[in-house]
Structure 1
């Protein structure tokens, strides 16, 4: 990022609610590894109610208003998703469904980066590709490369949740540097 560039505010969304989530650990690592001029703040999605359009038509619940405002204020979004049954988790789909409804859905024209962690070898590849399909409909602009799919995550974080694998840290740094450049390009 050039010295005259505006700071980049990123909202990070972990698609896992599990206390010991490797995806939430990866999001925290990204927050620590963000390049100069970028801040990443984590979004809370665990308190969002199940999506119901009758509820939306009566008025967005406060938790949804908070989430939508957080996304709207962001310059870019970082999704960190697990893979459940070859797909994104229901809690992440629920958050996307709430945020994407009118008026002025906050994913429109927004730069997005995706990464994910799993105990398997594919590191959430299928979930990430499915998320990319959704982002097309939402008119978001996902970063194509680098792809960060953290396989065998149980070997890359310590008992306190800190990322210990330097190769993974390098991949995350590369992703965030590319997201910063992508965000600047799209501004």
Structure 2
């Protein structure tokens, strides 16, 4: 079974990054899953005592089984969110290199006016050791994200929707 996997760097119920992933999934078409990033904090002692937690292995398996992955992250202190970095660290400890060669699209929705340029740069840097196929564009940088979605979670700006559509077409073709 082939599907698009979405990873949101924000855990909030009404997270604009999760809304952005849902918009991307609608544009991509087909089956869609959202990965669970509610994982324990990475702890080498925990790993040594208990092995890879089941939720971490499930996430690694989702990544490995996906046709492609779309990651949307807020910008926290000029970088990616802790929850996303923690998930990347945990998945890096699993067997089989689930990210290797995987087509990955990066997006961001932030309250600030730059739309997450710094977080996207930081995420690309964090992903390099895993050797995914990270698309270089088009960039999807949703600024003032608190006003970027309507009550149904749809993007308000045709410009933002156009960028999402173009990025998803590129991801589908990768």
TM-score, normalised with respect to structure 2: 0.92
2:31 match: secondary structure: strand
CA distance in 2, matches of 1:155, 1:70: 31
**Structure 1 stretches of 4+ moved >4 Å:** none
Q: CA RMSD in A?
A: 1.6
Deviation of 1:63 (Å):
1.1
Q: How many residues align?
A: 173
1:63 maps onto 2:50 in alignment: no
1:12 match: secondary structure: strand
Give deviations 1:89-123, integer Å, cap 9, x for gaps: 00000011111114222111211110010121111
Among candidates 15, 20, 23, match of residue 21 of structure 1 = 15
The answer to whether the 8 A contact 1:8-1:180 is kept is no
1:163 match: secondary structure: coil
Range that drifts further, 82-91 or 160-169: 160-169
Which runs of no fewer than 5 residues in structure 2 stay unpaired? none
Among candidates 124, 132, 155, match of residue 140 of structure 1 = 132
Deviation of 1:160 (Å):
4.1
Deviation of 1:8 (Å):
5.0
1:40 maps onto 2:41 in alignment: no
Shift of the 151–181 alpha-carbon distance from structure 1 to 2, 3 Å rule, reads same
Among candidates 5, 8, 15, match of residue 11 of structure 1 = 5
Which runs of no fewer than 5 residues in structure 1 stay unpaired? 1-6, 183-187
CA distance in 2, matches of 1:65, 1:101: 9
Give deviations 1:3-52, integer Å, cap 9, x for gaps: xxxx85221100001122111111111122224xx433111112x11111
Give deviations 1:46-94, integer Å, cap 9, x for gaps: 2x11111222233211111211111111121111010000000000000
CA distance in 2, matches of 1:181, 1:34: 10
CA distance in 1, matches of 2:19, 2:2: 22
